[in-house]
Structure 1
Amino acid sequence: MPTSLRFARASARTQQSRNIIAAIAGLALSAVTSVAAAQDKPPLKLGALMDMTGVYADTSGPGSEVAAKMAIEDFGGEVLGRKIQAVFVDHLNKPDLAASQAREMIENQGVEAIVDFAGSATGLAIIEVAKARNKIVIVNSAGSMRITNEACTPYTVHYTWDTFSQANVTGLATVRKGLDSWFFLAVDYAFGQELERDTAAVVQKSGGNVMGSVKHPLNTSDFSSFLLQAQSSKAKVVGLANAGNDAITAIKQATEFGLTQGGQQRLSPLLAFITDIDSIGLDIGQGLLVTESWYWDLNDETRAFTKRFRERTQRAPTSVQAGLYSSLTHYLKAVKAAGTTDSAAVIAKMKEMPINDMYAKGGRIREDGRMLHDMYLFEVKKPSESKGRWDVYKLLDTVSGEQAFQPIETSRCPLVKK
């Protein structure tokens, strides 16, 4: 072969090798550039305003912080190439402080959405701050109906429970079980009055009777006279339109009076969580009728989530904590689907996408921000029926979201088309 031809072929092979090396180098540089670009993106910050030390600490508090961290980890820790960071703050149940903290999070820390906030007064204060700045808020712990009525906003989601569903489900499901006569012990301020009014209305609408009611002062230590009136009414159900220490004191004293002895009368706290039952104990709490939005022992999915949660906390999750995990996951899925953190685009996806997870099946977010999902009536177990500390409920009835929550036709939300 002529020397010139061999030289030409060698030169061609050399050039080809150089082209391959250049291509590989280009790909490597592109990959490095992409990684660097992703690392340069600011994190997606989410704010969680919680009651970490006060009256709602067991219901939400540190357990909600764990649930939020689990949701972020399970999602993969990032979305749209941005690391997900959660900022946790204790609002101390002070509305003014909560509003100030929300402003600080949004304006100075770049928080895109705020979740949790136990307590309706703090929740409503935070909603107003977020509304003025077009930021999404997801309510898990607060129950005021104002959140999806007069105070509703285009960016607010009410996810777990509210006072209407608590009253409605308890009244509807008990009457369906033949417990069709009621007497109310109500704390003497707006909260108790609303719970009594709403529950009485659904009892009567369902074909039951209200045998009477009595009001008691907030934080009273002596329920004897009120319980005697309830006992003499011979109503099948004594509804406790109160919460916290008032409900716990009334339940303990009702047991001492023998009000529920023999099963002639049943007690139903209209707002109670698994942590309240744990505090009371099954010796006293057995037979109570309780409405909740979720329970850890409903199915394999709820039990699997609870197993992981208990490994971190040594406690079973409350319905509020499970709801926080679900709502935060739903928000992150909507961000991914929208391809942006813009509030209008994300909330549109949140309302468009169904919710199917360990918290809810076939859940959906309505135009007023209410997330519709099943609610449950439980009976508290006898000690002999329980297999352990958190094994406290027997399922009596399931009420669909369409039946459980306020009908959209009666909504007072300005966003709802009439």
Structure 2
Amino acid sequence: MFFAKAATAAALCVAITFGGSASAQTGSAVKIGLLGDFSSVYSDIGGMGNVEAVKMAIEDMGGTMFGRPIEFIHADVQNKADIAASLARRWYENEGVDMIIDLPTSATALAAMEMSKRFEKIMIVTDAASSDITGKSCSPYTAHWTYDTYSNAHTVGSAIVKNGGDTWFFITADYLFGHSIERDTGEVVKAAGGKVLGSARHPLNNADFSSYLLQAQSSKAKIVGMANGGGDTINTIKQATEFGLVAGGQKLAGIVMFISDIHSLGLKMAKGLIVTEAYYWDLNDRTRAFGNRFFERMKRMPTMNQAATYSAALHYLKAAKAAGSKDTAPVLAKMRETPVRDAFTDNGYLREDGRMVHSMFLFEVKKPEESKAPWDYYKLLAEVPGEQAFRPLKDGNCPLIKTN
């Protein structure tokens, strides 16, 4: 696990200058800021891997823009909305940051988005998942890049219901992200004729899931949906195995899971899980090239969030170069008019509600004997086109979208 600890978020703020001396004047150079989780439950899926991904994007642009070195800073938001808002305000207002990327939780994303709107600066969310980010809380300055609770619910949830998993109980992280997963997946289950029998909500970064698992067990639901992520999902699966849920006939649904989760669990425990991802390193030559390059630096394959952070940073920088400016309006215009074609996706585009639409993939986790090499974890079941995976533009209740 890659993480950094600090007494305060400000203490973790690190400035990096690419492509030349550090003498570029603040406000003159293109400057990217990353607000992430380096010390808690989501540090594996983003964390220092996201930092490395941004560095890779900057390097691929040659390290300079408009004759000055591209600057990059990052800080730990400690998964707290007030810290995210405070840092975003300081960076936008006083430190010349042009774009903020990452945001590990939905609460931190929504808080920082308010600062993005206030200062009319760009924000790209690559870790947080709530579909509200491009729904009722959408912003003209925010892009949502990787996945969201709607896309995962509609790929994993619908596949499981079609295969007979028609009664569900949710174990839910008790904040916006978990609530959004439970809501969006529950709607899929009900629309397919299934039933939601109940839910149990736990705090973020929880250690003991015994009481929640007992509730799930007593519900007799065929499917126990894990409406959580990162370390919470890993702990849920491990303790569910100890409680005998799967041995007793119930199945676990990992609605938001990452390759790092599978690596932590091991194939013996994770085998047979159905998961959806936006990226997998072994899909094709393009994804393998990026995965192997990332592995050389981090000694592990990238998660979809880390690949998406590379993609988003690269797309932003390409847009700034094409616009001939780092000003918000022309850069956003170029980001929207230019297709996203890179190591993360070859069919992406940025919608006016901020949703970056691209294919999602449905995978089954391999059995140990099916894996031929380290990180060879998935069997591809289906590629779901972005127009099917993500919520239709007209249905999101984004106030930026005019509907008749």
TM over 0.5: yes
Would you say the 8 A contact 1:267–1:288 is kept in 2? yes
Matching residue's letter, 1:78:
T
Between Structure 1 and Structure 2, how many residues are aligned? 376
For residues 135 and 51 of structure 2, the distance between their equivalents in structure 1, rounded to whole angstroms, comes to 28
Q: Which has the larger radius of gyration?
A: 1
Find the counterpart in structure 1 of residue 120 from structure 2: 134
Would you say the 8 A contact 1:68–1:325 is kept in 2? yes
- Structure 1 position 221 matched with structure 2 position 232: no
Query: How far is the alpha carbon of 1:246 from its aligned partner?
Result: 4.1
Find the counterpart in structure 1 of residue 365 from structure 2: 380
- Structure 1 position 186 matched with structure 2 position 171: yes
Query: How far is the alpha carbon of 1:208 from its aligned partner?
Result: 4.7
For residues 114 and 201 of structure 2, the distance between their equivalents in structure 1, rounded to whole angstroms, comes to 33
Matching residue's letter, 2:330:
A
Query: How far is the alpha carbon of 1:215 from its aligned partner?
Result: 2.4
- Structure 1 position 338 matched with structure 2 position 333: no
Query: How far is the alpha carbon of 1:74 from its aligned partner?
Result: 0.9
For residues 202 and 273 of structure 1, the distance between their equivalents in structure 2, rounded to whole angstroms, comes to 21
Query: How far is the alpha carbon of 1:43 from its aligned partner?
Result: 2.2
CA 74–408 in structure 1, closer or farther in 2 if over 3 Å, else same: same
> Residue 42 of structure 2 is aligned with which of 47, 53, 56?
56
Find the counterpart in structure 1 of residue 309 from structure 2: 324
For residues 181 and 83 of structure 1, the distance between their equivalents in structure 2, rounded to whole angstroms, comes to 55
For residues 193 and 72 of structure 1, the distance between their equivalents in structure 2, rounded to whole angstroms, comes to 35
Find the counterpart in structure 1 of residue 89 from structure 2: 103
- Structure 1 position 287 matched with structure 2 position 276: no
Find the counterpart in structure 1 of residue 105 from structure 2: 119
After superposition, give the CA deviation of every residue in 1:114-162 in whole Å (9 maximum; x if it has no partner).
1112111111121111211110001101112231123222111011111
3-state SS of 2:56 partner:
helix
Query: How far is the alpha carbon of 1:254 from its aligned partner?
Result: 3.3
Find the counterpart in structure 2 of residue 405 from structure 1: 390
> Residue 268 of structure 1 is aligned with which of 247, 253, 257?
253
For residues 251 and 202 of structure 1, the distance between their equivalents in structure 2, rounded to whole angstroms, comes to 23
> Residue 224 of structure 2 is aligned with which of 235, 238, 243?
238
- Structure 1 position 347 matched with structure 2 position 368: no
Query: How far is the alpha carbon of 1:318 from its aligned partner?
Result: 0.7
CA 152–193 in structure 1, closer or farther in 2 if over 3 Å, else same: closer
Identity of aligned residues (%): 48
- The 5-angstrom pairing of residues 193-204 of structure 1 reads 193-204=179-190
3-state SS of 1:187 partner:
strand
Find the counterpart in structure 1 of residue 379 from structure 2: 394
CA 413–69 in structure 1, closer or farther in 2 if over 3 Å, else same: same
For residues 55 and 407 of structure 1, the distance between their equivalents in structure 2, rounded to whole angstroms, comes to 31
Find the counterpart in structure 2 of residue 148 from structure 1: 134
After superposition, give the CA deviation of every residue in 1:41-67 in whole Å (9 maximum; x if it has no partner).
942111111212222111111111111
Query: How far is the alpha carbon of 1:241 from its aligned partner?
Result: 2.3
Find the counterpart in structure 2 of residue 358 from structure 1: 343
Query: How far is the alpha carbon of 1:242 from its aligned partner?
Result: 3.0
For residues 151 and 127 of structure 1, the distance between their equivalents in structure 2, rounded to whole angstroms, comes to 9
Runs of 4+ in 1 over 6 A off after TM superposition: 38-41
For residues 118 and 263 of structure 2, the distance between their equivalents in structure 1, rounded to whole angstroms, comes to 40
CA 65–167 in structure 1, closer or farther in 2 if over 3 Å, else same: same
3-state SS of 1:87 partner:
strand
Higher helix proportion: 1
Across the aligned residues of Structure 1 and Structure 2, the Cα RMSD in angstroms comes to 2.5
For residues 199 and 101 of structure 1, the distance between their equivalents in structure 2, rounded to whole angstroms, comes to 33
Structure 1, unaligned runs of 5 or more? 1-37
CA 224–341 in structure 1, closer or farther in 2 if over 3 Å, else same: closer
Would you say the 8 A contact 1:54–1:92 is kept in 2? yes
3-state SS of 1:376 partner:
strand
For residues 376 and 319 of structure 2, the distance between their equivalents in structure 1, rounded to whole angstroms, comes to 34
3-state SS of 2:98 partner:
strand
CA 324–188 in structure 1, closer or farther in 2 if over 3 Å, else same: closer
Find the counterpart in structure 1 of residue 238 from structure 2: 252
Structure 2, unaligned runs of 5 or more? 1-22
After superposition, give the CA deviation of every residue in 1:306-330 in whole Å (9 maximum; x if it has no partner).
1111111101111001001001111
After superposition, give the CA deviation of every residue in 1:228-271 in whole Å (9 maximum; x if it has no partner).
335x44x3x43222334443333223334554459x65421112
For residues 179 and 34 of structure 2, the distance between their equivalents in structure 1, rounded to whole angstroms, comes to 30
Matching residue's letter, 1:114:
I
For residues 112 and 224 of structure 1, the distance between their equivalents in structure 2, rounded to whole angstroms, comes to 45
For residues 244 and 84 of structure 2, the distance between their equivalents in structure 1, rounded to whole angstroms, comes to 43
